[in-house]
């Protein structure tokens, strides 16, 4: 029998500006059972490792930067965990309250066929109104479906509807929990990108269930610069084509039209006042992000036509595996 009911695994890398707040929230979780905390640091040079070493309740595993992998590192954490359930939170995802972990586990406990649970994301207060709205709309979309889903909901639709398949295998290990007994047969794939969604697709196709826990929320958002958004969109498009066969990028002509349309929308579109006042700077940033998104998706869809050195320069994930 596992020593703890749950473990929390936190991959870290040069996050000292946000890590203390995240770890304080993880350490403050209220649960009726014991849980352990495992941090896996991949070569931080900003004081993150030294900070983690000082936390008595945190078990720190240190690996070299070149040994990092999205799936590989998480598999290391799960293997080290002496627990029935293993939760994941990234070093920049701050649990909203002290019941985040209990809410994740309570959903998984509803049925042994639930292999994984993902929680809600909420934008940080400092995020732009556009980012706040986008994140809210994304996670509100899951409320239109059952909170627990499986392939059996509509087998014919799973075969024929790409959008339905994408909804069923959406999974974000920025804020998630899996059943360790399932992981033993279905570990995370060791890939450059989308290890969480590839894992969810595998367990869905194996007949397991996946659940959404809207009450298990974390603050997690980014207002990307043009270059950051371009690189992330490039990786997303390239890898979704590679691993799922989805084409996220239109041809260059349609991409150009989309960029013009999104730029106009950024300056004309109104955002609900509950997300804050929208400044001219917010609108410029939004236009730049949308242009970068479409450009990155288009480049990623055509990555095989690009020289390797260009692909390596564009890829953000490629840089994660370097010191």
Q: Which domains does the chain have, with CATH numbers?
A: 4-219 (3.90.550.10), 226-320 (no CATH)
pLDDT score recorded for residue 321:
47
Q: What is the DSSP letter of 91?
A: T
Report how far apart, in Å, the C-alpha atoms of 287 and of each of 72, 238, 255, 293 are.
36, 22, 14, 10
pTM reported for the whole predicted model = 0.90
Q: Which of 95, 82, 76, 88 is nearest to 27 (CA)?
A: 95
Residue 249 has pLDDT above 80, yes or no: no
Lowest average pLDDT, out of 28-42, 143-157, 235-249, goes to 235-249
pLDDT band at 318 (very low <50, low <70, confident <90, very high): low
pLDDT at 242: 81
Does the pLDDT of residue 322 top 60, yes or no? Answer: no
pLDDT for 323 equals: 46
Which pLDDT value is given to residue 83?
Answer: 96
pLDDT over 80 at 246, yes or no = no
More confident: 219 or 237:
219
Q: Are strands 35-41 and 4-12 parallel, antiparallel or unpaired?
A: parallel
Mean pLDDT of 212-229: 95
Per-residue model confidence (pLDDT) at position 317: 66
Query: Could you tell me which residue, 6 or 253, shows the higher pLDDT?
Result: 6
% pLDDT > 90, the chain: 75
Contact 4, 34 (CB under 8 A): yes
> Who has greater pLDDT, 112 or 159?
112
User: 7 and 36 in contact (C-beta within 8 Å)?
Assistant: yes
Residue 179 has pLDDT above 80, yes or no: yes
At residue 164, what are phi and psi to the nearest 5 degrees? -65, -40
Query: What's CA 17's distance to the chain center, in Å?
Result: 20
Q: Six-digit token pair at 97?
A: 């309250």
**pLDDT > 60? residue 320:** no
Distance CA 302, CA 305 (A): 6
- Tell me what pLDDT residue 186 has: 97
- Provide DSSP, 260-316: HHHHHHHHH----GGG----HHHHHHHHHHHHHHHHHHHHHHTGGGS-HHHHHHH-S
pLDDT number for residue 193? 82
Using the predicted structure, report yes or no on whether residue 238 has a pLDDT greater than 60: yes
- Mean pLDDT score of the chain, rounded to an integer? 92
- Per cent of the chain over pLDDT 70 is 98
Rounded to 5, what percent of the chain is helix, strand, coil?
50, 20, 35
């Amino acid at each position: 029998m596992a020593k703890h009911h749950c473990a929390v695994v936190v991959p870290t890398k040069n996050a000292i500006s946000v890590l203390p707040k995240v770890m304080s929230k993880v350490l403050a979780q209220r649960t009726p059972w014991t849980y352990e905390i495992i941090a896996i640091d991949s070569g931080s040079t900003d004081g993150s490792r030294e900070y983690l070493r000082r936390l008595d309740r945190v078990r720190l595993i240190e690996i070299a930067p070149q040994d990092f992998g999205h799936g590989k590192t998480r598999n290391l954490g799960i293997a080290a965990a002496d627990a029935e359930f293993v939760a994941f939170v990234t070093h920049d995802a701050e649990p909203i309250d002290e019941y985040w972990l209990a809410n994740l586990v309570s959903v998984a406990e509803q049925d042994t066929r639930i292999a994984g649970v993902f929680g809600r994301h909420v934008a940080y207060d400092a995020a732009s109104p556009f980012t706040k709205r986008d994140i809210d709309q994304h996670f509100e979309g899951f409320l239109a479906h059952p909170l627990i889903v499986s392939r059996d909901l509509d087998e014919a639709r799973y075969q024929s509807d790409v959008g339905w398949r994408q909804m069923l295998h959406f999974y974000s290990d920025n804020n998630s929990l899996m059943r360790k007994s399932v992981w033993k047969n279905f570990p995370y794939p060791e890939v450059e990108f989308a290890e969480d969604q590839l894992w969810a697709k595998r367990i869905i196709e194996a007949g397991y269930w996946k659940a959404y826990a809207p009450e298990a929320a974390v603050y997690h958002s980014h207002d990307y610069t043009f270059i950051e958004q371009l690189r992330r969109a490039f990786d997303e498009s390239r890898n979704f084509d590679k691993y799922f066969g989805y084409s996220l990028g239109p041809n260059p002509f349609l991409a150009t039209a989309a960029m013009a349309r999104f730029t106009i929308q950024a300056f004309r579109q109104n955002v609900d006042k509950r997300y804050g006042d929208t400044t001219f700077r917010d609108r410029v940033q939004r236009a730049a992000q949308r242009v970068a998104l479409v450009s990155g998706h288009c480049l990623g869809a055509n990555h095989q036509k690009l020289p390797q050195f260009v692909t390596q320069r564009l890829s953000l994930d490629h840089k994660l595996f370097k010191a």
